[in-house]
Amino acid sequence: MVMVAVQAALFVAGLWAGWRFFEAETALSALHWGLPAAVLVLMSLIIKLGMMPQLQANRLMRELKRLQLQAAMARKG
């Protein structure tokens, strides 16, 4: 749950910095906001993609447990 919150916070911060990038009036100011925006969004993407295998494994284990429970209930009834 902590990683999801961190990923969301990084993404929101990246969007905010991106917004400031597009409002910048000078090239130096645009660089000042554009580079952090890109880094923050990329960091959130890396975290999200890094969590994906674990989320898939959790989903698979939950379904297997559900099938085992259904099989046990069918044997009883």
Half-sphere exposure of 74 (CA within 13 A, CB side): 6
What is the reported pLDDT for 40?
97
18-73 pLDDT tens trace: 999 999 999 999 999 999 999 999 999 999 998 888 878 888 999 999 999 999 99
17 has a pLDDT exceeding 80: yes
Cβ–Cβ < 8 Å for 12, 44: no
What is the reported pLDDT for 43?
97
Where b means 16+ CB within 10 Å and e means fewer, 16-50 reads ebbebbeeeeeeeebeebbebbeebbebbeebbee
What is the reported pLDDT for 54?
80
What is the reported pLDDT for 52?
82
What is the reported pLDDT for 57?
86
